[in-house]
Amino acid sequence: MCLKNWLLTGKPGVGKTTIIRQLLPSLRGEVGGFFTEEMREGGRRVGFKLCEVEGREGILAHVSFSSPWRVGRYRVRRETMEEIGIPALDRAIAGKDWIVLDEIGRMELFCPAFQEAILSALSSAKPVLGVWQERASSLFLGIKKRRDTRIIPVTLENRDYLGEAI
């Protein structure tokens, strides 16, 4: 089996998403999938957006949401995964050359259909460049055992040259 999935892992704020964004222009072909981005108000993080590579976005989690699904102080909106995340992955699997999956984490685990879409992306013939929260869930522990996937730790010491190495 050929190595085709590269998943960055590391502490929050270490630069995982920054590395992926820096790599995008060097990828050959069309890219699809999604990113998550912090939302800040008054210098304070208040939530996260789910953003398609193509531009559509929605709020994934926010401190002011009313939702039964929670990660820390953030309440998760599953509908965003169903309305934006899953279609973005489906389109990338069907018609793009690369899949961006930023990120596979605890918030994403509240939506079983989204979990299936993530696993479909990793199992597709398309290469995946993504971010994985290693502590996310036992469901995704199987990712570590995939022979087509490399987990790459990002640290303050390696983040400046890691993009070139990938």
| Distance of alpha carbon 71 from alpha carbon 78, whole angstroms | 12
Instruction: pLDDT tens for the chain, 166 residues: list them.
Output: 689 999 999 988 899 999 998 998 888 999 999 999 999 999 999 999 999 999 999 999 999 999 999 999 999 999 999 999 999 999 999 999 999 999 888 887 788 898 899 999 999 999 999 998 876 555 566 788 889 999 999 999 998 888 887 7
Q: Which helix (H) or strand (E) holds 160?
A: helix 159-165
Structure tokens at 163: 């993009």
* CA distances to 64, 119, 151, 164 from 122, in Å: 33, 5, 13, 22
Indicate the burial class of 50 (C-beta count within 10 angstroms; 0-12, 13-18, 19 or more). Answer: buried
- The correct CATH number of 5-36+78-165 out of 3.40.50.1000, 1.10.3720.10, 3.40.50.300, 1.10.1200.10 is 3.40.50.300
